[in-house]
Structure 1
Amino acid sequence: MKPLQKLYHLLEAKEFQIRMEGVALLLDLSKSRPQLISTNITQIFDYFDLRLCDTHKRVKEKALDVLAEIIGLLEDALSPVIIRLVEGITKNLNSKDPGVRAAAVRALEGSIAHLDKVSLMKELSNQRKQLSGEALLVVTECITVLVEWVYARSPEVVERYALPVLWSFLENKALPVRSASVRTVATKLALALYEVMGTKLKKCAASKPPRVQENLSKILGC
């Protein structure tokens, strides 16, 4: 357990340079001793997820970059911490620091590639309620990417978690963000849902306010 004790000590250090050493050590251990990290992932995240919202932008950016790498290394072993993982990433999507924001996007892309897509759609949908601006658009685009894969395996998950995202855009509750961007993102999501659901999407919209039905008809061209 000595490597873990050292890891925890570094991750909670006062000096930001030492915290960065802790983040680097986590990556090294994930490569050299993945079983050790996987077995203790919940406890490790008690320390590591604090670095995802670190007060020092260099630590935060490094933590997000390391997260993007370990997602590819550990994959399903991260399932117990997927809620905190998604929360840590999405909180940084609106960062004013371009390096932090870009690192968050890379971690999100890694999540889509390597984590359970059904669980990921659920958590992204849940986190979306707390987001605004560009972060909202980025997360919605990720949900759109997941629609086809998830619907083929768990259509009820798409209907429960992706449809409300579309309704919020069509009701114009997703603002404030650039209107052109909103229209583009909403259109992509609507078309992705229509591709897998067909006319069922229109039937689901029938119980929604007229504004939603009108906007959906404009997107679908019918």
Structure 2
Amino acid sequence: MDQELEGTVKALLQKAGESNAFIRQDVDAALDCMVQHCTPTRSINALLTGGLSHLNAVVRKCMAQHLANLVEKVGAARLLSGAKDLTDRILPAVAKLAQDSSQEARYFGRRMLLSLSSHPEFEKILEKYIPTKDLQTVRDTVFTLKTKGLGEMPQDTQSARGRRSLPGSGTVRASSLNREPLNQTNRWPIKANLFFTNTEYIKQISDLLASKDFRERLKGIDRLVADCQNNPNMVINSIFPVFDAFRARLQESNSKVNLYALESLQKIVHLLKDNLSQVVNILVPAIVDNHLNSKNNAICSAAIGAINALILNIDNILLLQPFCAKAQFLSGKAKVNLIEKVADLVTELYPRKPQMVEQKVLPLLWHLLGTSTHSGTIHGRGGSVRGATANLCQALYAQMGPSLSECAASQPANVHKSLNDILRTLS
């Protein structure tokens, strides 16, 4: 398939510009499949070739949406590694999309830019790959994203409902007809003070968390926990830079600070709850990478505690994608642990979000079944990867019934056989 990818994607994107909703849905499904199963580098290049400069805004939006999924799947470390035909293509393209004339394409461009900006060498990489004339604009966009957040994805239907026609004057927003004049003299100082306060706060907390003295870093963690309790709005308004700084403590080599950060995160999650939804993709990798396989039992337990805190306090639909992605690429007991967590999420989420669960979890299941060695016995929770895979199969089968096997029919024969073998042992 990789050989024909560019032509196929170009044809699909062309179809995405059609008005027929069913065709657009089929295009999205096909491109989703590409994201899951084709070589990421070729998929990225195919999307960029087929859609980056397309004149149709709907096509650019479709391309940007699937490119964003790929960017999040592959990760900033690999995309910005300097590899030929990867970094030199993706970064300028994302910068261009972040300034696109289409609101929706621009949203996905900025989402990717925010994701890539988590790379520790992002500033240097920007200078290398972005033309000087565009550099300041990109920096300003990243700063705005990190201080104010990405915001909600624009919806055409909502904006259409917010407009109504006036005779002879085209279309205007209905809300603007009833809006009272703003008292600019009262509003601007407040906004400026908030900006100043946030900037100062970010600097203070970042300096503490990045201190060379580990005792100062511990104080920084304590300060963050206290702020989450006593001044949560300050933390929420600065959520990206604050948790970028905190992530470094979750990943640091000093085990004392590392453990303290993981334990403190449980308190933070309990205090901020769904307000952390914007930084789930920052937190999950920082928690699970290395820690769930740690030989330090205290660190491993604290990491599991942090994951459980996320599950208890944040809308679990937001955890499904990062959990599935990490379960696919981790190894050892970390892999087992996350597969078990995904199985639990299936039971909770499938009744209200069946399509979402199938879209995210089935690719993980096919991967697990396809790489199964058939060694060891299928046993219960906390056992082998094969045992965890069996639990995941059981959770999905309990929700999907025979349609699980029907979905597997389109997979390679070994996947279908592995699934049937497991289901027979469960019946």
Regarding TM over 0.5, the answer is yes
Match for residue 411 of structure 2 among 208, 213, 217: 208
How far the C-alpha of 1:199 sits from its partner, in A, is 1.1
Alignment of 1:41-190 (within 5 A): 41-91=239-289, 92-173=291-372, 181-190=384-393
Paired position in structure 2 for 1:199: 402
How far the C-alpha of 1:191 sits from its partner, in A, is 0.6
- Is the contact made by 1:27 and 1:69 (CA closer than 8 Å) also made in structure 2? yes
How far the C-alpha of 1:128 sits from its partner, in A, is 2.5
How far the C-alpha of 1:7 sits from its partner, in A, is 1.9
Letter matched to residue 85 of structure 1: L
Letter matched to residue 113 of structure 1: L
Paired position in structure 2 for 1:25: 223
- Is the contact made by 1:132 and 1:177 (CA closer than 8 Å) also made in structure 2? no
The number of residues matched between the two structures is 222
Letter matched to residue 208 of structure 1: Q
Q: Output the CA distance in 1 between the equivalents of 2:332 and 2:356.
A: 25
Runs ≥4 residues deviating over 6 A: 174-179
How far the C-alpha of 1:40 sits from its partner, in A, is 1.3
How far the C-alpha of 1:209 sits from its partner, in A, is 2.1
* Per-residue CA distance 1:173-203 (angstroms, 9 max, x = gap): 5899998612221111001000111111010
- 1:134 and 1:177, CA in 2 relative to 1: closer, same or farther beyond 3 A? farther
| Larger proportion of helix | 1
Q: Which has the higher contact order (CA 8 A, sep 6+)?
A: 1
Q: Output the CA distance in 1 between the equivalents of 2:422 and 2:227.
A: 49
Q: Max radius of gyration: which structure?
A: 2
Bigger mean CA deviation after superposition, 165-174 or 120-129:
165-174
TM-score, normalised via structure 2 length: 0.49
Q: Output the CA distance in 1 between the equivalents of 2:374 and 2:401.
A: 27
State the identity as a percent: 33
- Partner of 1:116, secondary structure, is coil
How far the C-alpha of 1:38 sits from its partner, in A, is 1.5
- 1:62 and 1:81, CA in 2 relative to 1: closer, same or farther beyond 3 A? same
- 1:53 and 1:177, CA in 2 relative to 1: closer, same or farther beyond 3 A? farther
Q: Output the CA distance in 1 between the equivalents of 2:374 and 2:217.
A: 37
- Is the contact made by 1:133 and 1:177 (CA closer than 8 Å) also made in structure 2? no
How far the C-alpha of 1:168 sits from its partner, in A, is 2.0
Q: Output the CA distance in 1 between the equivalents of 2:374 and 2:254.
A: 30
- 1:177 and 1:215, CA in 2 relative to 1: closer, same or farther beyond 3 A? closer
Q: Output the CA distance in 1 between the equivalents of 2:223 and 2:376.
A: 39
Q: Output the CA distance in 2 between the equivalents of 1:82 and 1:93.
A: 17
* CA-based RMSD: 2.2
* Per-residue CA distance 1:157-178 (angstroms, 9 max, x = gap): 2112111222222223589999
Q: Output the CA distance in 1 between the equivalents of 2:373 and 2:332.
A: 9
Letter matched to residue 231 of structure 2: R
How far the C-alpha of 1:215 sits from its partner, in A, is 2.1
Letter matched to residue 58 of structure 1: K
Letter matched to residue 105 of structure 1: I
* Per-residue CA distance 1:25-47 (angstroms, 9 max, x = gap): 11111111112111211120121
Letter matched to residue 61 of structure 1: L
* Per-residue CA distance 1:80-122 (angstroms, 9 max, x = gap): 1110111111112112222111111000011111112111001
Q: Output the CA distance in 2 between the equivalents of 1:177 and 1:150.
A: 30
Which runs of 5 or more residues in structure 2 are unaligned?
1-196
Letter matched to residue 281 of structure 2: I
